Amino acid sequence: MGERQVYTVTFLPAGRTCRVQAGTELLKAARKAGLHVNASCGGAGVCGKCQVIIEKGSVRGGKSEKIPAAFSAQGYRQACRAQVCEDVVVRIPEASGQRQGGLGTALPQRNHARQHVFDMDELKQEGGWSPSVEKVCIELAPPAGHDNRADAGRLLQGLAAQYNRRCELKSLAFLQKLGKALRQEDFQATATLEVPVNLAARYRLLDIQPGYQCHRNFGLAFDIGTTTIYGVLIDLETGRFLAEASCYNPQMSYGEDVISRIICAEKPDGLDLMQRLVNEAMNQLITEMLDKASPSERIGQQPVTRDEINSVSIAGNTTMTHLLLRLDPSSIRRSPYVPTTTFFPSFRAREVGLNLSDTCASLVYPAISSYVGGDIVAGVMASGMYSSEQLTLFIDVGTNAEIVIGNRDWLACAACSAGPAFEGGGITHGIRAVEGAISDFSLNPETLEPMNVTEGDKAPIGICGSGLLIIVATLFEHGILNQSGKFHPLGHPRIREGKSGHEYVLAWKDECAAAHDIVINEVDIENFIRAKGAIFAGITTVLQQVGLQVSDLEQIILAGGFGSYIDLDSAMTVGLLPEVDPEMILYLGNGSLTGSWMCELSNHIRRDVVEVVRKMTSFELSEVPGFKDQYMASMFLPHTDLSLFPGAAVRNNV
Amino acid sequence: MGERQVYTVTFLPAGRTCRVQAGTELLKAARKAGLHVNASCGGAGVCGKCQVIIEKGSVRGGKSEKIPAAFSAQGYRQACRAQVCEDVVVRIPEASGQRQGGLGTALPQRNHARQHVFDMDELKQEGGWSPSVEKVCIELAPPAGHDNRADAGRLLQGLAAQYNRRCELKSLAFLQKLGKALRQEDFQATATLEVPVNLAARYRLLDIQPGYQCHRNFGLAFDIGTTTIYGVLIDLETGRFLAEASCYNPQMSYGEDVISRIICAEKPDGLDLMQRLVNEAMNQLITEMLDKASPSERIGQQPVTRDEINSVSIAGNTTMTHLLLRLDPSSIRRSPYVPTTTFFPSFRAREVGLNLSDTCASLVYPAISSYVGGDIVAGVMASGMYSSEQLTLFIDVGTNAEIVIGNRDWLACAACSAGPAFEGGGITHGIRAVEGAISDFSLNPETLEPMNVTEGDKAPIGICGSGLLIIVATLFEHGILNQSGKFHPLGHPRIREGKSGHEYVLAWKDECAAAHDIVINEVDIENFIRAKGAIFAGITTVLQQVGLQVSDLEQIILAGGFGSYIDLDSAMTVGLLPEVDPEMILYLGNGSLTGSWMCELSNHIRRDVVEVVRKMTSFELSEVPGFKDQYMASMFLPHTDLSLFPGAAVRNNV
């Protein structure tokens, strides 16, 4: 395509400018300049509310039947349909949301967390680089009359002498290959060794190949999410990702959350079905990654084969892990919420149902409890908080929210029954962050006209988690919602009495792609407050248990998809996150997947994880006296105790 | 049947008597009295040479067309057909082999080794009683809100607290059963633990059952012989054998010795075939033993099921073990005779192809080398020589002979390429010890008439190992063979020129069940001398290597079937065994099977076997300088160095 031209767009009356590529719509340019333009339809060209006036220069498109010919002649265009093709000066009229005489209604700059970057070079330098499976090439003296040791003993002694590796041989398949493998290249062969997690233990012999084969050593890492399964194919010698792939967890057809999956597994043959579904998906991802992985100078021209994958690391929540391993999950969903196991011995990948070689090892991340799973432990490993001096709060917000607080000296965790509000669950028009989901929002406080920003700039179909957070925060900031999450009766057509209390209309039926008006009502807001309240109460309760306060926190790490989209100011405004310097907040991304591939690359991580799990104190919040009070106190915007949110108190005059 | 009457038989002219049950043939009574009676046909009633005269009392039967009516009237009867039915006096005439005027030609009393008895009570008292798999019943506190540890952790902590067992959980199948098994009987359950061989290691959890199930704990022991497979089903709580079974090794159809099996395994799919055959046979024996095993007061009325078999111990020679495990055996048969492995990790029984539960453990006895296998190591364990102060010589004579010399301080071993002479191989009319095999023998030195004793008292069809030994010893003792194993030309019809040098006719064609005369010729005797020479040279060579002499030996233990039949005097006469006090010699029986079930019952044995294998010095005789000289010196009857055989020298005036 080549590089596109870049032009300057100047917005009046605010006088703000921004530079955008040719072809960018004016609505997007306004957003980039931080300006509100009414847009109920999310930029889909439907509502006609984003009309702007071209005062200098020209644009491509933007005329429509929503704009009478006379206006069109005066330069009126629909901002969502008009594309920049040269430097241009654009006026946002009052009718489109611009506050008269002011500098424009600023669309708040969204303050997302900085990404936490895992430094692979640092890991290498610190001696942490040590794949969990290594290949070593060994040259043995061929047997002779005076030295007719058995093949196995000869190999073990050679590995000890040449590589200082004390090995154990547990695999019958290995022994079955050994004789021929050694003799094919005159007793030069490459051994595949599983590196022990415990330094005092022996290396385990996994495989033997004739001749030199050290350059081909591959691993897989998986994150088994309730919704999505991610996989990475890794060159274990360089740490390079050779391919990535992901797919929906096919168990989704049997329920969106872990509880419905467990219920399904309790039916006759249900557990087998759940296991088969996740196995099939993983095997499909493996095939896809092997197809994608391209040869390179280092590994040679031969494609990577499944037999060359020597280890697999897997992280997932406790239920996903139980279903993968066909472990009975039924006690997970019933008080007192007991899983079959929280630690998982090193299985063969075949045992886990993966279509890989007999000798391929698999590590499944240990869990802490039924609701603080291996995905969280993996995230903690990825975050590095367990080796940091800083007192860190780790939060993963998904269907439930899990929090971990601590540093290199201690760690404590809890699962917060946040409910699925942040994934669109329990919200009248809540949806996942699919195309058409309202994910950002601003408001003209006088007209109450919204600017709905949707995923893919499609006509709105619902509200996703990040949008919900911003909508509630914006409505609260502008005094439209009170501290209890109730609407002030303003007598405005966009705020009306609905079936679930008052509601705010985000988009009228004819402006959106839904068969109804898209609204947010007081029950939605109550559910939202419950969710954020449960999380915040979890944080304060765990801190209280260890004798600390929110103000002691030195770092916050957000994991999970939601963490990357979350607007930090909104999160503090509503009391989801503690009020801290946003610079203290880092976004980890898919911590579960990161922790998983880190295990592949660094046996130090595997060693540390044992320590981390041992060290972690798990709080069952419902059993902690005081949690209920914390929860009740958190059931307000932002909180009963405004001393915890001085900024919000000032901003909102509450 | 009730008890039979017992009568006295008096033989004249020797005047010897013996007491036998009613119905016993006079030929057997004479044998019991130690008297020679000519009997070429082995007592089959064919040769008519065993005529005796009834002088007082009467017998049932014994008349035949071989005895003219006149003689019959005088009391002549065929001894092999005349049955005792009252006290009787019998004269053995000169024609039937009795030396005139003498006290009778004494049939030498066969001096068999005393049986070595494994004292299970002693083992118990010494604290050695500890099955390799144990069952413990545990009662756990059910989970509660304040204690919602995972099932696996709860169990491991309970086993540590209640039984001081530090356990590891490696099995996915175990985890898959765990949740339901614990909850079925309100957290009372029985765990099956594999006891670690290394005391510092952890117990391994094999299985979990609801409620109390400790009383049902069963094990299997196998000896995989080249010819025969033996199995024993054991109650691991009492040590009682619940059933035994054996069958021919079905690989026999593909060759009688290990070399022909290896050659067969080298053909396409041959290794799979060999494995399948032994697997099928073992599985058939398992079914047979489960069917045979009867309920008892202790284990209850429920039949033993295959799921209740928790461990299997297997001993076999190195080739049999390789074929069982589908390990490439081809380098075993080629110089420098290298097996794939001599140690075998603890597999699951399923991996070894046995139709048992997923969790059943299997131990395969370690080997020393390609030709000193796990069967010999098992025999050493069964013999107890490794813990004895006495300098012991252990010999297992089969197709090859293996020897182990040592005591609790040191052990040395060697395989002697004896060849199959003792199993009938390489001997013109050699056969295994089947019905009709000549297994004992005596000679009237004047007439050279034989008394052939056959298995089952059937007409002779050939010579088995124990018979061969006695025949050679007898011919040598009577000066019919010289020290080189050549016949003195006596001009007697029973000693004639044959295709393979001179030969002695043991039975004429019409006296036996073969289509030819049964003979022993000089080539047979040469093969016999080679075999016994290889063994004796092995013994002296190993002793020489450790600076000892035959006279230092304090105990000799004979293993294998041949060991129980071997006539000790004959063995010393020909120089197969060193000349020692016969009281020093013990017969172990099937040491491989004994060692195998000892492993099931005593984990101390499993621990000790590691030490025994580590301690054992293996001599490759062909590589030892001096062996060839020892071998050449042993190629005489009994030996070149008669100072080693003072008794023989005196007896035979050689």
Is pLDDT at A481 greater than 70 in this prediction? yes
Average pLDDT score over residue span B522-528: 96
A 311-370 → B contacts, CB under 8 A? 325-328, 330-331, 335-343, 345-347, 351-352, 367, 369-370
Mean pLDDT rounded to a whole number for chain B: 91
B 171-200 → A contacts, CB under 8 A? 171-172, 175-176, 178-180, 183
Mean pLDDT rounded to a whole number for chain A: 91
- Per-residue pLDDT reduced to its tens digit, A521-563: 999 999 999 999 999 999 999 999 999 999 999 999 999 878 8
Is pLDDT at A584 greater than 80 in this prediction? yes
pLDDT category at B568 given cuts 50, 70, 90 is very high
CB contact under 8 A, B369 and A148: yes
pLDDT category at A473 given cuts 50, 70, 90 is very high
Nearest CA to B494 among B425, B429, B443, B438?
B443
Chain A hits for B151, CB-CB cut-off 8 Å, are: 331, 338-341
Q: What angle do CA A583, A584, A586 make, to 5 degrees?
A: 90
- Per-residue pLDDT reduced to its tens digit, B6-26: 999 999 888 889 999 999 999
Backbone dihedral region for residue B296 (phi beyond 0: left; psi -120 to 50: alpha; all else: beta): beta
Helices (H), B355-432: 374-383
What is the H or E stretch that residue B471 is in? helix B465-477
Query: Which chain B residue's Cα is nearest to A153?
Result: B341
- Per-residue pLDDT reduced to its tens digit, A84-131: 999 999 999 888 876 544 444 556 677 888 887 776 677 666 666 788
Query: Which chain B residue's Cα is nearest to A180?
Result: B328
A 379-438 → B contacts, CB under 8 A? none
Is pLDDT at B3 greater than 70 in this prediction? no
CB contact under 8 A, B330 and A147: no
Nearest CA to B325 among B303, B307, B305, B350?
B350
Say which of A170, A343, A346 has its CB closest to residue B152.
A343
| pTM of full prediction above 0.90 | no
Q: What angle do CA B476, B480, B482 make, to 5 degrees?
A: 60
- Per-residue pLDDT reduced to its tens digit, B217-228: 999 999 999 989
- Per-residue pLDDT reduced to its tens digit, B312-371: 999 999 999 999 999 999 999 999 999 999 999 988 999 999 999 988 999 999 999 999
CB contact under 8 A, B345 and A169: yes
Given the cut 0.90, state whether the ipTM is greater than it: no
- Burial level of A185, CB count in 10 A (0-12/13-18/19+)? middle
CB contact under 8 A, A176 and B327: yes
Query: Which chain B residue's Cα is nearest to A176?
Result: B327
Spatial distance between the Cα atoms of A424 and A431, rounded to a whole number of angstroms:
4
Q: Is B68 on the interface with A (CB under 8 A)?
A: no
Spatial distance between the Cα atoms of A191 and B322, rounded to a whole number of angstroms:
22
Average pLDDT score over residue span B243-272: 94
Quote the minimal CA–CA distance from A544 to chain B in Å: 18
Query: Which chain B residue's Cα is nearest to A619?
Result: B146
Cβ(B199)–Cβ(B138) below 8 Å: no
Select the residue from A341, A351, A627 to test the B interface by mutation, using most B Cβ atoms within 10 A.
A341
Quote the minimal CA–CA distance from A627 to chain B in Å: 15
Structure tokens at A550: 């929110």
Q: What angle do CA A191, A194, A197 make, to 5 degrees?
A: 150
Q: Is B147 on the interface with A (CB under 8 A)?
A: yes
Query: Which chain B residue's Cα is nearest to A154?
Result: B341
Spatial distance between the Cα atoms of A579 and A568, rounded to a whole number of angstroms:
9
Chain B hits for A181, CB-CB cut-off 8 Å, are: none
Say which of A328, A620, A623 has its CB closest to residue B179.
A328
- Per-residue pLDDT reduced to its tens digit, B426-458: 899 999 888 999 999 998 888 899 999 899 889
Question: Which is it for strands A501-507 and A495-498: parallel, antiparallel or unpaired?
Answer: antiparallel
Given this model, what pLDDT does residue B106 score?
54
Given this model, what pLDDT does residue A563 score?
81
B653 alpha carbon, distance to own chain's centre = 34
Quote the minimal CA–CA distance from A336 to chain B in Å: 5
Looking at this protein, which amino acid is placed at residue B258? V
Cβ(A280)–Cβ(A293) below 8 Å: no
Spatial distance between the Cα atoms of B504 and B452, rounded to a whole number of angstroms:
13
| SS3 category, A296 | strand
Average pLDDT score over residue span A140-148: 93
Spatial distance between the Cα atoms of B626 and A550, rounded to a whole number of angstroms:
86
Quote the minimal CA–CA distance from A409 to chain B in Å: 23
Quote the minimal CA–CA distance from B476 to chain A in Å: 38
CB contact under 8 A, B325 and A176: yes
Structure tokens at A544: 């209280």
- Burial level of A438, CB count in 10 A (0-12/13-18/19+)? buried
Average pLDDT score over residue span A340-348: 93
- Per-residue pLDDT reduced to its tens digit, B488-518: 877 888 999 999 999 999 999 988 999 999 9
